[in-house]
Amino acid sequence: MVALSLRGLVSRKLRTALTALAIVLGVGFVAGTYMLTDSMNKAFDNVFATATEKIDVTVTPKEQFDNAGTVAMSSEVLRRVQAVPGVEEAVGSISSSGGGDDSAVIYTKDGSEPLVRGGAPMLVVNDPSERLSPLDYVEGHAPRAPDEAALTKGTADKGGFAIGDTVRISGDGPAEAFRVVGIAKFGEEDTLAGSALAVLQTEVVQRLLDMRGEYTSIDAVAEGGVTPEQLSRRVAAELPAQLYNVRTGEQEARRQAADLQDQLGFLRTFLLAFAGVALFVGAFLIVNTYSITVAQRMREFALLRMIGASRRQVLRAVLGEALVVGLAASVVGLLFGMVIAPALRGLFTLFDAELPSEGLIVETRTIVVSLLIGTVVTVVAAVGPALRATRVPPIAALQDVASMTRGKTARWRTPVAVVIALIGVAMMCGGLFGGGSAGQAAGLIGGGGAIVFVGVGLLASHLVRPLALLVGLPLERLRGVSGRLARENATRQPRRTASTSAALMIGVALVAFIAIFAAGLKASVDDAVDRGVAADLVVQTETFQPVPSSAARALAEVPGVETVSPLRFASGKVPGQSGTLSIAGVDPATAADVIQVDWVEGDQGLLRTFGGSQVALSDRYADEHDLSVGSTFAVGTPTGREVRLEVVGIYDDNAGLLGNMTLSNELLARDFDATRDAVVLATTAAGESPDAVQSVADETISAAYPTVEVLTKQGFKDEQAGQIDQLLGLVYVLLSLSVIVSLFGIVNTLVLSIHERTRELGMLRAIGTSRAQVRRIVRYESVITALIGAVLGVVLGAIFAVLVTIPLQDEGFTTSIPVVTLIVLLVLAVIAGVIAAILPARRAAKLDVLRALAYE
Amino acid sequence: MNAIPIVTAVDLRRRFGEGEAAVDALDGVSLELPQGAFTAVMGPSGSGKSTLMHILAGLDQPTSGSVVVDGVELANLDDKKLTQLRRDKIGFIFQSFNLLPVLTAEENIVLPLRIAGAKVDREWLETLIETVGLGARRTHHPSELSGGQQQRVAVARALISKPAVVFADEPTGNLDSQSSAEVLGLLRRSVDELGQTVVMVTHDAHAAAVADRILVLADGQIVHDGDAGSADDVLDLMRTVA
Ligand SMILES: Nc1ncnc2c1ncn2[C@@H]1O[C@H](COP(=O)(O)OP(=O)(O)OP(=O)(O)O)[C@@H](O)[C@H]1O
Ligand SMILES: [Mg+2]
Whether residue A768 and residue B114 make contact (CB cut-off 8 A), yes or no, is no
Which is nearest to A413 in space by CA: A383, A458, A381? A458
The values of phi and psi at residue A119, to 5°, are: 40, -100
Secondary structure string (H, E, C) spanning chain B: CCCCEEEEEEEEEEEECCHHHCEEEEEEEEEEEECCCEEEEECCCCCCHHHHHHHHCCCCCCCEEEEEECCEEHHHCCHHHHHHHHHHHEEEECCCCCCCCCCCHHHHHHHHHHHHCCCCCHHHHHHHHHHHCCHHHCCCCHHHCCHHHHHHHHHHHHHCCCCCEEEEECCCCCCCHHHHHHHHHHHHHHHHHHCCCEEEECCCHHHHHCCCEEEEEECCEEEEEEECCCHHHHHHHHHHHC
**Candidate from A492, A760, A768 with C-beta closest to B87:** A768
| Closest Cβ–Cβ partner in B59, B87, B90 for A849 | B59
Cβ distance A768 to B84 less than 8 Å, yes or no, reads: yes
Where are any strands of DSSP class E within A47-108?
A: 57-61, 73-74, 87-93, 105-106
Cα radius of gyration rounded to whole Å, chain A: 33
Q: Kindly state the DSSP code that residue A60 receives in the 8-state scheme.
A: E
Ligand number with the minimum distance to the CA of A850 = 1
In angstroms, the separation between the Cα of residue B112 and the nearest Cα of chain A is: 6
CB spacing of B100 vs A769 below 8 angstroms: no
Ligand 1, atom 22: closest residue by C-alpha:
B50
CA–CA gap between residue A829 and residue A825 (Å, rounded): 6
Q: Do the beta carbons of residue A512 and residue A732 sit within 8 Å?
A: no
- Residues whose CB is less than 8 angstroms from the CB of residue A287 and which lie 6 or more positions away in sequence, other chains included: A381, A382, A384, A385, A499
Residue identifier of the C-alpha nearest atom 13 of ligand 1: B25
Do the strands A642-651 and A599-601 form a parallel or antiparallel pair, or are they unpaired? antiparallel
Cβ contact B115–A853 (<8 Å): no
User: What does the angle CA B16 – CA B18 – CA B21 come to, to the nearest 5 degrees?
Assistant: 85
Query: For chain B, how big is the Rg over CA atoms in Å?
Result: 18
pLDDT in the model for residue A405: 44
Using CA positions, which residue lies closest to atom 4 of ligand 1? B16
**Residue among B13, B27, B51 whose CB has most ligand 1 atoms within 8 A, to mutate:** B51
With cut-offs at 50, 70 and 90, classify the pLDDT of residue B153: very high
Q: Tell me the C-alpha distance between A848 and B60, whole Å.
A: 10
Q: CA dihedral in degrees (A91, A92, A98, A99; nearest 10)?
A: 180
- Residues around ligand 2, an ion, CB closer than 5 A: B 50
Partners of residue B217 on adjacent β-strands: B222
The 10s digit of each residue's pLDDT in A671-686 is: 888 888 889 999 998 8
Whether A465 has its CB under 8 Å from any CB of chain B: the answer is no
Q: What is the pLDDT of residues A724-750, one digit of tens each?
A: 898 899 899 999 989 998 998 899 889
Across the interface, whether the CB atoms of B114 and A480 are under 8 A apart is answered: yes
Question: Which-ligand-closest: CA of A855?
Answer: 1
Residues forming a β-bridge with A177: A168
Query: What is the residue with the minimal CA distance to atom 1 of ligand 1?
Result: B16
Q: Which backbone phi and psi does A534 adopt, to 5 degrees?
A: -95, -10
Q: What is the pLDDT of residue B55?
A: 92
Q: Which of A480, A765, A767 sits opposite B117 (nearest CB)?
A: A480
Question: Cα–Cα distance between A226 and A85 in angstroms, integer?
Answer: 10
How many angstroms separate the Cα of A746 from the Cα of each of A159, A267, A276, A498?
48, 31, 20, 11
**Chain B positions in Cβ-Cβ contact with residue A489 (cut-off 8 Å):** 102
Q: Which residues of B touch A853 (CB under 8 A)?
A: 94, 98
Question: B60 C-alpha vs ligand 1 centroid, how far in Å?
Answer: 12
Distance CA B233, CA A799 (A): 78
Cβ–Cβ < 8 Å for A167, A106: yes
Residue ranges per structural domain of chain B: 36-61+76-241
- Which site among A464, A476, A756, A767 would you substitute to test the B interface, given the most B Cβ atoms closer than 10 Å to its Cβ? A767
Q: Are A734 and A728 in contact (CB under 8 A)?
A: no
In contact, B24 and B220? CB cutoff 8 Å: yes
| Ligand 1 pocket at CB < 6 A | B 16-17, 23, 25, 43, 45-51
Chain A residues with CB inside 8 Å of B112's CB? 767-768
Please say whether the beta carbons of A231 and A86 come within 8 A.
yes
Give the residue on A whose Cα is nearest the Cα of B110: A481
User: B42, B50, B203, B204: which to mutate for ligand 1, most atoms within 8 A of CB?
Assistant: B50
Instruction: Specify the ligand 1 atom closest to the Cα of B49.
Output: 21
By alpha-carbon position, which residue is closest to atom 6 of ligand 1? B16
Cross-chain residue pair A488–B157, CB shorter than 8 Å: no
Q: How many Å apart are CA A118 and CA A112, to the nearest integer? A: 17
Q: Indicate the top mutation candidate among B12, B14, B27, B47 to test ligand 1's pocket, ranked by most ligand atoms within 8 A of CB.
A: B47
Which positions in chain B touch A849 (Cβ < 8 Å)? 59
| CA proximity to A36, closest of A334, A341, A339, A260 | A341
Q: Which residues contact A362 (CB under 8 A, 6 or more apart)?
A: A35, A38, A338
- State which ligand 1 atom lies nearest to the alpha carbon of B203: 25
* pTM of the full structure: 0.83
A16 shares contact with chain B (CB less than 8 Å): no
Task: State the CATH architecture for B36-61+76-241.
Answer: 3-Layer(aba) Sandwich (3.40)
Instruction: Say what angle helices A494-532 and A713-756 make with each other, to 10 degrees.
Output: 180
* Partners of A710 in beta bridges: A539
Q: What is the pLDDT of residue A809?
A: 76
B104-125 confidence digits (pLDDT tens): 999 899 988 888 888 888 998 9
Coil/strand/helix, residue A248: strand
pLDDT above 50: residue B1: no
Q: Which atom of ligand 1 is nearest to the CA of B14?
A: 12
Asked whether residue B26 carries a pLDDT value surpassing 90, the answer given is: yes
Q: Collect contacts of A264-270 with beta carbons under 8 A, ≥24 apart.
A: A264/A37, A264/A40, A264/A41, A267/A37, A267/A40, A267/A355, A268/A33, A268/A34, A268/A37
- Ligand 1 atom with the smallest distance to the CA of B170 is 27
- Answer yes or no: do B84 and A771 touch at CB < 8 A: no
* Identity of the highest mean pLDDT range in A42-56, B6-20, B130-144: B6-20
pLDDT, mean over chain A: 86
For residue A850, the ligand 1 atom closest to its alpha carbon is: 1
Quick one: closest CA in B to A770, which residue? B83
* Cα separation, A666 vs A612, whole angstroms: 8
Q: Where residue B101 falls among pLDDT bands split at 50, 70, 90? A: confident
Residues of chain A with pLDDT under 50: 401-407, 856
Sequence-separated (6 or more) residues with CB below 8 Å from residue A169: A104, A105, A106, A107, A124, A149, A175, A176, A178, A198, A200, A208
A488 lies within 8 A of chain B by CB? yes
The pLDDT value given to residue A120: 67
**Which of A481, A759, A768 is closest, CB to CB, to B98?**
A759
Distance between Cα B169 and ligand 1 center (Å): 13
Asked if A765 and B79 come within 8 Å (Cβ–Cβ), the reply is: no
In this complex, the residue of B60, B84, B114 whose CB is nearest that of residue A481 is: B114
pLDDT at B147: 85
Least Cα separation, residue B80 to chain A (angstroms): 7
Ligand 1 atom nearest residue B48's Cα: 18
A773 touches B: beta carbon within 8 Å: yes
Alpha helices in A558-637 (DSSP H): 591-594, 604-609, 619-624
